[in-house]
Amino acid sequence: MLMEKNKANSDQATKVTVKRRKKGALIAFIVMTALYIPYSVISNQVTESEIQRIIEMGYLAADYTKEDLGNFCNFESLDLDETFDIVCFWLR
């Protein structure tokens, strides 16, 4: 009888632990999503503004392709890679 009671308590404790872990995982997911969305929006805005600056400087055509952008970032004779760090970072 004592073993049955211990097993029931163990099963109950396991259920509580599983519920807590699920709740913790859900909270972690919500927090990570809440942090990622603003970062993604800001990053896209900065990337677009850097690409616009590259176009305005004449290093890239307005109708550029991803290949053109990749070639720009691999262009080693100019030190523009540091200036346009965010654009070139995501292409590597």
pTM for the structure as a whole:
0.54
Shortest CA distance to 85 belongs to which of 71, 73, 75? 73
Question: What tokens does 51 get?
Answer: 């690409």
User: What proportion of the chain, given as a percentage, has pLDDT over 70?
Assistant: 78
Choice between 69 and 81, residue whose per-residue pLDDT is larger: 69
Q: Are 41 and 35 in contact (CB under 8 A)?
A: no
User: pLDDT class for 80, splitting at 50, 70, 90?
Assistant: low
pLDDT of res. 54: 85
Mean pLDDT of the chain: 80
